[in-house]
Structure 1
Amino acid sequence: MPAAVREGHMMQFPIVGRTGGLLLAVGMLLAACSERKPTPPPPEAGYIVLKTETVPLFIELAGRTAAYETSEVRPQVSGIVKARLFEEGSIVRAGQTLYRIDPRLYRAALNQAAANLDNARAQREAAAARASRLKPLAQIEAVSKQDYTDASAAAKQASAAVAQNAAQLETARINLRFTDVPAPISGRIGRSLVTTGALVTTGQADPLTTIQRLDPIFVDIQQSSADLLALRRQLASGGGTRSSAAVTLKLEDGSEYGATGRLEFTEAMVDPATGTVTLRARFPNPQGLLLPGMYVRANLSQITARDAILVPQAGLTRNPKGEATVMLVGKDGKAELRSVTAANTVGDKWLVTTGLKPGDKLIVEGLGRIKPGQPIRPVPAGSPPAARKAG
């Protein structure tokens, strides 16, 4: 073969090799593309459509029980205690005799006052008779007018003395009754602070005993002045209406007190030491379960909010900063992360005050598979599988 021909054949072989390699690479690339998995569909997101509601807003506050009535029993006369006529810790009735003070001095004073009254009445009769005798004699000038004037004045003085002695007799009678020391109110009586044979005096500082009426019973509740101010502003702005005055209690052991109480009033001043206002509620206490001084938690509704938006707990999360966030179905079919304000709960839901509006689609299902800005396939929350496929 001529040299020129051989040289031409040698130049053709590299071209064919390069072309074959290129075709092989293209084939392998097409094969790899054919083996790739199809793009997965967007994840499902179960949503609810938000709406406004009218709901009572409850608040739990600390409080302490206080007796409905408290009476310190003190003597109204002085003397020696002869007897104690009650059992400590028992229930007593108003008017029931609790102590008996030695009555002898007061009985003697009563007898003396009665005798003084009889004497004054006798003197009045004598003075009146003398004035009656002198009156006609003075008219005919058989006696001087001065004598009649003196007799008439003496009769009036005698009448006044009768009234004075009658009052003293009544005072002596009252003092004698005070030797029996009665219960001023009905309730549970405490321990006796004096014993038989003790000397008690009128106006002494220490009481003989104390009676407390425990049915009904008060609960004094403390609320911060800032919370009360915010409540009143919300009422003034029309954001709600005043709720019923019903109050429920949780006892120290965490149990619920069975009866419902009623809010009586709110103190008209703020305690400068604590910055709180006292609210007083009244509860029935027929079994005597509540005792004065017990620590309780009071749950009450002071306002009923209008146009409130409630969010299920599953639909609200908090970021590392503690800020509340929710995931919504965006208008572009993507998940939208939004910050909201949710400081209080109503039952098992969050009360959202800012960040949401009626008609928003809140995602409550599938949040673990969704990221902000990711395309999603929204379906109504709780839809059965068939409905989801149809959607």
Structure 2
Amino acid sequence: MAVSLFVAGCGSQASTADAMPPAEVSVAEVVSRDVQPWDEFTGRVSAVESVELRPRVSGYVERVAFDEGQEVAKGDLLFVIDQRRYRAELARAEADLARARSEAQLARTQDARAQSLVEAKAISREEFESRRASRSQAEAAVRAAEAAVANARLDLQFTEVRAPISGRAGRALVTAGNLAQADATVLTTLVSLDPVHVYFEADEQTWQRYNAQAGEKRAVEDNAVRVGLAGESGYPHAGKVDFVDNQVDAGTGTIRARAVVANPDRLLTPGLFARVQLQGRDSHRALLVDDKAVLTDQDRKYVYVLGEGNTAMRKDVRLGREIGDLREVADGLEPGDKVVVHGVQKIFFPGMPVAPTTVEMGAPPAPPQVASAESGAEPAGPAGGSQ
């Protein structure tokens, strides 16, 4: 009787397994195409130009002429230092220049008169040479007075502190009424906004690989880069490498590189963390699959491919870089393999029968089919279960 019950139970399980409908899945053929590799790094956004604005003359700040944090153009007025002292210095220098010019005119007149008198032998040669020297001294005094006027006028101009570059101004570190010392007091900071630099560091092996690919050119010279911020998806900002350091840091084993990136929308603020992709020089043939098709078994990655008789066969794979919306498979698949991309959760064991629907690799899943009310049929539940 025990043997009879066991045989009856096995028959019941076999009939249940035979009655299980194949799992409906979407399969796509592995994509095989030439790809351009991109290496990923982390970096920081930095301003191309950064200025600590200091006054060139000393004095009390009379006015702050900008809004803190605003974008300013080169030459815009930012601070005004008390000008009264410098206006007085300019007036004194101009008066000294007028006196020097008057004395020079008198010296030229006396020299011309001495020239005619010495020819008539009415004065001595010594007196003639003395008047000629007085004329030269007066003309030199005029030039010195002109230089003093130019210097005083320059100091007066320096009382108006203007932006040396276009960019965004920081907060005013010195406000009206405070003393600003020439070449010492920092008034504010300015950073340029467009374009910006993105600094990142590459390890030794990556650097050597790019060096080997470069040939006669410098490694990563003018290589394209793509940049994404921490809160962005993908890499929406494009640029190129314009500088590589001249030595590897012995402490970290990395070398610093710099990319220049356009920033017309001002999203790249100096100091932000950046995700950087650097384009390699060599292209190669690669097999690509949708990331949704890749499953994890402890430390191994695998996919299900369509086998003989529409069964799901497991294949372990080794993954490579992300190529757009797809993932490179370095090992484990062959061209022509059809990979299960949608419905992998319905496959419970290798060799399980499936009902495949062919789609394009990377295409979204098809909407579920709902049975019509006229047929009275109920939608099927998950494979191997009941609703």
Deviations 1:138-158 (A, max 9, x none): 223322111111111110111
Aligned mate of 1:247, from 225, 241, 255: 225
Which residue of 2 is the match for residue 116 of structure 1?
Answer: 96
8 Å CA contact 2:229, 2:275 repeated in 1: yes
- Return closer, same or farther for 1:223/1:138 CA change in 2, 3 Å cut-off: same
Task: Determine which structure has more spread, i.e. the larger CA radius of gyration.
Answer: 1
Which residue of 1 is the match for residue 167 of structure 2?
Answer: 187
* 3-state SS of paired residue (1:303): coil
1:228 Cα deviation from its structure 2 partner: 1.0
Matches of 2:320 and 2:100 in 1, distance apart? 82
Which residue of 1 is the match for residue 197 of structure 2?
Answer: 218
AA at the equivalent of 1:230: R
- Return closer, same or farther for 1:192/1:316 CA change in 2, 3 Å cut-off: closer
8 Å CA contact 1:82, 1:196 repeated in 2: yes
Matches of 2:167 and 2:277 in 1, distance apart? 28
The structure richer in helix per residue is 1
Matched, 1:270 2:239: no
AA at the equivalent of 1:264: D
Which residue of 2 is the match for residue 207 of structure 1?
Answer: 186
**TM-score scaled by structure 1?**
0.67
Matched, 1:310 2:287: yes
8 Å CA contact 1:79, 1:201 repeated in 2: yes
Which residue of 2 is the match for residue 19 of structure 1?
Answer: none
AA at the equivalent of 2:225: V
How many residues align? The count is 311
Deviations 1:164-220 (A, max 9, x none): 10011011011011111111112111101112111111121x410011111222211
Deviations 1:127-147 (A, max 9, x none): 111111111222233221111
Aligned mate of 2:259, from 249, 261, 281: 281
8 Å CA contact 1:242, 1:304 repeated in 2: no
Matches of 1:105 and 1:320 in 2, distance apart? 79
Which residue of 1 is the match for residue 86 of structure 2?
Answer: 106
Matches of 1:71 and 1:171 in 2, distance apart? 25
8 Å CA contact 1:107, 1:176 repeated in 2: yes
Q: How well do the aligned residues superpose, as a CA RMSD in angstroms?
A: 4.0
* 3-state SS of paired residue (1:286): coil
8 Å CA contact 1:217, 1:282 repeated in 2: yes
Matched, 1:297 2:281: no
- Give runs of aligned pairs for residues 338-353 of structure 1, distance below 5 A: 344-347=321-324, 348-350=326-328, 352=330
- Return closer, same or farther for 1:147/1:177 CA change in 2, 3 Å cut-off: same
**TM-score scaled by structure 2?**
0.68
- Return closer, same or farther for 1:244/1:304 CA change in 2, 3 Å cut-off: farther
8 Å CA contact 2:50, 2:191 repeated in 1: yes
Matches of 2:221 and 2:287 in 1, distance apart? 18
1:299 Cα deviation from its structure 2 partner: 1.7
Moved more, 262-271 or 145-154: 262-271
| Residue segments in structure 2 that go unaligned for 5+ positions in a row | 1-26, 306-314, 341-348, 352-357, 359-387
| Residue segments in structure 1 that go unaligned for 5+ positions in a row | 1-45, 328-337, 370-381, 383-391
Aligned mate of 1:84, from 64, 82, 85: 64
- Return closer, same or farther for 1:362/1:319 CA change in 2, 3 Å cut-off: farther
1:313 Cα deviation from its structure 2 partner: 7.8
- Return closer, same or farther for 1:296/1:50 CA change in 2, 3 Å cut-off: closer
* 3-state SS of paired residue (1:88): coil
* 3-state SS of paired residue (1:75): coil
Which residue of 2 is the match for residue 173 of structure 1?
Answer: 153
- Return closer, same or farther for 1:99/1:213 CA change in 2, 3 Å cut-off: same
Matches of 1:75 and 1:341 in 2, distance apart? 61
- Return closer, same or farther for 1:144/1:231 CA change in 2, 3 Å cut-off: same
- Return closer, same or farther for 1:219/1:172 CA change in 2, 3 Å cut-off: same
Matches of 2:137 and 2:216 in 1, distance apart? 74
Matches of 1:112 and 1:310 in 2, distance apart? 83
AA at the equivalent of 1:251: L
* 3-state SS of paired residue (2:270): coil
Which residue of 2 is the match for residue 62 of structure 1?
Answer: 42
8 Å CA contact 2:43, 2:275 repeated in 1: yes
Matches of 1:49 and 1:115 in 2, distance apart? 89
Q: Aligned residues: percent identity?
A: 32
